[in-house]
Structures are given as structure tokens and as C-alpha cells.
Structure 1
Amino acid sequence: MGPDPARCAASREAQLKQIEARAKPGDVVFLASLRTPELTDRPWRKGESAVIEEALKELTDENMEAARTDAERLLKRLQAAQLNILIDAPKPVFKAAPNRCSDWFNRMNPVCAPGLTMARDQLERLRAPQMQLLQQLEARYPALHTWDPLPLLCAGPTCSAYDDNAKPLFFDSNHLSGHGNRVLEPAFTAALLKIWEVSPVTE
């Protein structure tokens, strides 16, 4: 978590101007981004708790404040355009990538050794700063709505990159697979409909 990458500033501004030009009052803008530290290439021999503690130290006060500043700048513009904003809460992240570790011939690959599961309580620790920030932003910006896909992707104490039928929910360590997107689609649609019920689209 930190400021938006400077190298993307021109692209972000162009996309934002396009939204402001094309969107109508009441439309929904969906913002999706990874705002938690990634977990690949970490010293997992230390144990999950220790690694998560190290990852949380990367979320310095300076980085958190930069993230807040960038978020508020964007939210102010979108809300001023009378748009609703839907943002997804942090989804699980994993120690390795299913697309590199699913086939039998890759099972001995050292990058796959950490495995494709994470304790949910450790992921909750990892995303807690972002959840707190989202809660604060929602209180300040009525147009902002948070949708949390975590319960659908991880119903129990252990989160897996695969569902109960061994189908991959994730493509790599932090991006959903096509199947994962299909799993979330009904809940995502329901979140959109809920926003429109409260703030109906104006013609």
C-alpha cells in the first residue's frame, strides 16, 4: 500500500477524464486494485505469523498517508460527478502462484514449496490497515461502497487458491482466475443492484 505509481499518472488521468466525460449521474465506477503487500518470495521458513508481521511493517505511516491522499483525490472527483463508487476489499493473496504450481511436473519447483494455502486469520491481519482505511473513507464519502469478496473465496479458517472441487480460484498469487470471477459474479451483481436501489440511475 502506498501512493499510486507515478509512471501511471498520465494513463490514470486520461481514464478519469474519459469517465467524467461519458458517465451519467448515478452510474457506478468499480475500482479494483491490490492494496496489500504481496506474499511471494518471502522467507516462509520463519512461519506465517512472522512473515505477515514483516509484511505489515512495509505499511509505514508515510505509505498509508500517501494512499489515503491519492484515494481522496480520486473519490472527490468521482463524487463531484455524481457517480457511485464500488471498491472491492482485499482478497486473499498467496505464497505461490497456481499457474506455476498446478501441474505435476512443477511440484518440485522451489517457488511452489510454500504451498497454495494461507491461514485466514493471518490474511485478516494483513488486510486490516486497508479495511480500516476503507471504513474511514466510506464515512467521509457517501458515494463510496465497499464490497468484500473474502467470505466467498475463503469460508473457513484456511484459505486456498482452489475451491472444494479443486478448481482454481486464482490465476496467480493475487489475481482471480476465470472460475474465481464466475464464483463472485452473483455477489458482485447483487452489490451493484443494492447501490442502484439506494441511488437509482437518473436518466
Structure 2
Amino acid sequence: MASLIGPDPSRCAPSREAQLKQIESRAKPGDVVFLASLRMPELTARPWREGESAIIDEALKELTDENMEAARTDAERLLQRLQAAQLNILIDAPKPVFKAAPNRCSDWFNHMNPVCKPGLTMERNQLERLRASQMQLLRQLETRYPALHTWDPLPLLCPGATCSAYEENAKPLFFDSNHLSGHGNRVLEPAFTAALLKIWEVPPVTE
């Protein structure tokens, strides 16, 4: 839910409504609802011979004004409902996405696989371009919904100018082109816990 790149799929409406009703019936005021989603256009199966900048330009065309307005409308509908239930909402900002999937391209016998040819890195500035509209929408939503909190894992997953599906020690951060690996989740856990604790921290008493 709340993909921030387009409308919520209509085919998912029944299950989405059932999940919301379950949250409303079971959650207590002050509880945190974490809305995790893929919030970037996928980059696999694109003609990378044209170069990163050209492909990001192509992907950005998918984020039309119509799609972004639909994304805002659906996100607001969801946030209004969760905030009315006196719940805190935590959303993860868009994480890196890659040209190929590590789980298909990590073994030696896959080195000649054409799907792996684009590689497992992306320039961070190109990913920042790709998520700029979503980040702007998140900032707008935060000003309208005090219950909304944004957690940005990108700096931890990509601390330098080039983002990789692997750490320097060759441990995989991603399982496929857009899902974290078990190790990637462990890398983010301390920051995620800190984000939760910040939401719950008690304001200082003033006299």
C-alpha cells in the first residue's frame, strides 16, 4: 500500500480493505503501522546499452502527473484512515533498485547470462533522480499528516557515489533487483529500531 508511484491496484482492493479492518480492530492508539512497498520503477529488462541516464529518463516518464496524482489520492485516503484510528504510520523512503538480480547473477556459471550483463551497481545520483518525485510527495504528506513518519534506508544501503547490491566484503545486501537479502535486513535493523523508538519517545516535561 502507498506505493507513491501510481494508484493502488484495483484487484488488491478487497484484501487491502480486509487488512485495514483488521488493523482498526486490533491496533491500539499509539501503535505503529509500517507501510513497506516498492516505491521505484523497476529497472530490470531495460536496454542498458543506452546508458544509465537515458534509462532513468525513460523510467521517469512512467511517473506521469496522472500517476503521481493517483498515488497521492490513494496515499491520503489510507493515511486519513490510519490517523483517525490514532495510529502512527512509518513509511520507508524508496530504496535502491538494480539492473539485474543478485540471486540470478552471483554464481560463476551465470557470468555469461545476458540478464546479468548490465551489472549489479547503480550511480546514486541516478537513483536520487528516480525517487525525487516520491520524496517530494512524502514531504508534502508529512506536513498534512502529523502521524506520518518517514524512514530513509538509502544512505545506509548506499553510503557512496555508487550503489551496489553487495557490500565491500561481498555480502549481498539485496536478494533480487529490489528486495533486501537477510543480511541487508540485518544491516538496516538498528536504524529501523531507532526510527521506531523515536516515534515512541516521550516528550520532555516542561514546567
- Residue type at the aligned position of 2:129: R
| Shift of residue 126, structure 1, vs aligned partner | 0.3
| Shift of residue 72, structure 1, vs aligned partner | 0.2
1:21 aligns with one of 18, 22, 25:
25
Q: How is 1:1-203 mapped onto 2 (pairs within 5 angstroms)?
A: 1-197=5-201
| Shift of residue 80, structure 1, vs aligned partner | 0.1
| Shift of residue 5, structure 1, vs aligned partner | 0.7
CA separation of 1:110 and 1:142: change in aligned 2, threshold 3 A: same
Percent of residue pairs identical: 89
In structure 1, runs of 5+ residues without a counterpart are none
Taking the aligned partners of 2:168 and 2:17, their CA distance within structure 1 comes to 41
- Residue type at the aligned position of 1:67: A
Taking the aligned partners of 2:143 and 2:99, their CA distance within structure 1 comes to 33
- Residue type at the aligned position of 1:68: R
Q: What TM-score results when the alignment is normalised by the length of structure 1?
A: 0.97
| Shift of residue 35, structure 1, vs aligned partner | 1.8
Q: What TM-score results when the alignment is normalised by the length of structure 2?
A: 0.95
- Residue type at the aligned position of 2:30: G
In structure 2, runs of 5+ residues without a counterpart are none
- Residue type at the aligned position of 2:79: L
RMSD: 0.8
Please give the per-residue CA displacement for 1:46-90, whole angstroms capped at 9, x wherever unaligned: 100000001001100000000000000000000000000000000
Instruction: State the aligned residue count.
Output: 199
